[in-house]
Amino acid sequence: MLRAAIAHEYRIRMLSSPTTHETISDLFRGFRIAHPHERQARLPITKEILTKMCAQLYQTKQGKDGLLASVVLWRTIWRICLEYHTLSRFSDIVKLEGPDVIYESSPSPHLKIFFKAAKE
């Protein structure tokens, strides 16, 4: 396919088509000239990032209690918070239903979350 692309480029410029050897030379020359693709490392979510995301809910444009924030914003931030605090995967969080989350007020207020068939 690359050989065909090089032959097409020569045809467009009205140059004589390269031999197989010249084509391979052109490919390697191009590989040497091309910038290496550097993979961007994904950093893990930190407490500071979570704090900033939650602060996004309580901006003045969204009202003091955050009720004017979009449902998508609420859902995204709480999904990421659950992933962070429970060390679970997105696929496990998505499967949660109402009965899987229980609020308990004693001995201290907390949520009890039950993951069904979570990957170990």
Contact 80, 47 (CB under 8 A): no
First-to-last alpha carbon distance for the chain, in angstroms, is: 43
Q: Is there a domain that residue 64 lies in?
A: yes
Q: What is the pTM of this model?
A: 0.51
- What's the pLDDT score for residue 82? 85
Domain that holds residue 14: 2-33
Residues 54 and 106 grouped into a single domain: yes
As beta bridge partners, residue 113 has: 101
Q: Is there a domain that residue 39 lies in?
A: no
4-47 residue pLDDT tens:
776 777 777 777 766 666 767 777 777 677 666 676 766 778 88
Q: Identify the H or E element spanning 12.
A: helix 2-12
DSSP tag of 89:
-
41-77 residue pLDDT tens:
667 788 888 888 888 777 777 666 667 778 888 888 8
Give the chain's domain count: 2
Phi, psi of 14 (to 5 degrees): 60, 45
Query: What span, in angstroms and rounded, lies between the C-alpha atoms of 100 and 98?
Result: 5
Residues 27 and 63 grouped into a single domain: no
Q: Identify the H or E element spanning 102.
A: strand 101-104
Residues 52 and 104 grouped into a single domain: yes
**In terms of DSSP bridges, do strands 110-113 and 101-104 run parallel, antiparallel, or are they unpaired?**
antiparallel
Residues 55 and 20 grouped into a single domain: no
